[in-house]
Amino acid sequence: MTEAWGPDDDEPRRHHGPVRVRVPAKINLHLGVGPLRDDGFHELNTVYHAISLFDELTARPGDTLTLTMEGEGAGTLALDESNLIMRAARALAARTRVPAYARLHLRKSIPLAGGLAGGSADAAATLIACDLLWGTGLTREELAEVGAELGSDVPFLLHGGTALGTGHGEAVSPILARPTTWHWVLAIADGGLSTPEVYRKLDDLRAGSWPPKALSGPDELMAALRQRDPEVLGAALGNDLQAAALALRPELADVLKCGSEAGAVAGLVSGSGPTCVFLATDAAHAARVAAGLNSAGVCREAVTARGPMPGARVT
């Protein structure tokens, strides 16, 4: 239900609410990390893939800006101005010169600091929800510009699907492949890993090696996606952050080994970890791999997921 924001019909329309937005987690099918740049970022070449593990953000009209939450990380995650949801709402309000008034509620399923970009996902959901609630009417490209200031993965999570990320991940272009559903298993760890710490560890591991490691391109992965064969895709998956995540959390090697013994086509650390992700041939195979990981007790929980999924969308 909408109503006129102003008397003029050309003006944006705001929403009475509630506006409910569902947003997926991401994994990286390829994550090539170049050397550290002068601006403190690493040049990335990545293939993002949105999967069916979702957070849900609800926005209602309010007299001020408030945030509540339930689910993963409730009681741990700060709900103050440091939260990416609050920062996203403030950034959109500043850009569009509207008062940042909303009651926001997060139902969180994406584990915290898991290498699945849950915080960026929540920021993307907030931009979509508040844009509709406030009637600010930004295009997806304009929302992506606001999002890129909040986190490198936010533009992709507005977009979803499978996409190439360059720059420090914020420059996103869709990969046009014939529609194929891929089946995944996520081994969710106890506790998280700090993304900046994983990058610092990678820099340490690379220090002294000459010539500096070149940025690995996604060509093999892109070709594998077109073949629609899990074995071919499995052989092309890769993550330059994996060695650093394993150095910080050596027990992840057991998780990867266990997934392989449970019959996964391939396995790797998701982004900066510690979540490990495994490729399966179909839904039944994914369920068997998840059961194998769960019965081995090497992770907090193994769950199945499908991809690609759309980005942040109003439900």
Sign for the pseudo-dihedral over CA of 258, 183, 287, 248: positive
**By CB under 6 A, is residue 91 in contact with ligand ATP?**
no
Q: Does 165 bind ligand ATP (CB under 6 A)?
A: no
**Nearest-5° Cα angle at 159, 154 to 162:** 105
- The CB-of-75 to ligand ATP minimum distance in angstroms stands at 13
45 in contact with ligand ATP (CB under 6 A): no
Using CB under 6 A as the binding rule, whether residue 122 contacts ligand ATP is answered as yes
Q: Kindly indicate which of the ranges 12-20, 57-65, 112-120, 177-185 contains the residues binding ligand ATP, using the contact rule CB under 6 A.
A: 112-120
CB of 138 vs ligand ATP, minimal distance in Å: 21
Exposed, middle or buried, 142 (CB in 10 Å: 0-12/13-18/19+)?
A: middle
Q: Which is nearer to ligand ATP, 151 or 292 (CB)?
A: 151
Backbone angles phi, psi at 59, to 5 degrees: -120, 130
Residue 249 burial by CB count (10 A; 0-12/13-18/19+): exposed, middle or buried? Answer: middle
If binding is defined by CB under 6 A, does position 118 make contact with ligand ATP? yes
Closer to ligand ATP at the Cβ: 160 or 292?
Answer: 160
CB atoms within 10 A of CB 113: 20
Active site residues: 26, 153
Rounded alpha-carbon distances, angstroms, from residue 185 to 39, 215, 262, 265:
36, 28, 11, 11
Q: Sign of the C-alpha dihedral, residues 171, 172, 175, 180?
A: positive
Of 185 and 186, nearer to ligand ATP (C-beta) is: 186
- Does position 84 interact with ligand ATP (CB under 6 A)? The reply is yes
Please state the closest distance from residue 17 (CB atom) to ligand ATP, in A: 20
# residues near ligand ATP by CB under 6 A: 20
Note whether 293 binds ligand ATP by CB under 6 A.
no
**113 interacts with ligand ATP by CB under 6 A:** yes
Min CB(14)–ligand ATP separation in Å:
24
Nearest to 49, CA basis, from 143, 167, 132, 172: 172
- Residue 28 found at the interface with ligand ATP (CB under 6 A): no
Supply the minimum distance, in Å, between the C-beta of residue 212 and ligand ATP.
23
* Residue 114 is a binding residue for ligand ATP (CB under 6 A): yes
CA angle 177, 233, 271 (to 5 degrees): 95
Helices marked H in 104-241: 118-134, 140-148, 154-159, 195-206, 219-227, 230-236
Chain residue whose CB lies nearest ligand ATP: 119
Q: Check if the beta carbon of residue 42 is closer than 8 Å to that of residue 165.
A: no
- Cβ neighbours, 10 Å, residue 49: 25
Q: Which of 160, 272, 286, 290 binds ligand ATP (CB under 6 A)?
A: 272
- Residue 256 interacts with ligand ATP (CB under 6 A)? no
Give binding residues as ranges: 111-121
> Could you list the residues that contact ligand ATP (CB under 6 A)?
77, 83-85, 112-120, 122, 151, 153, 192, 195, 271-272
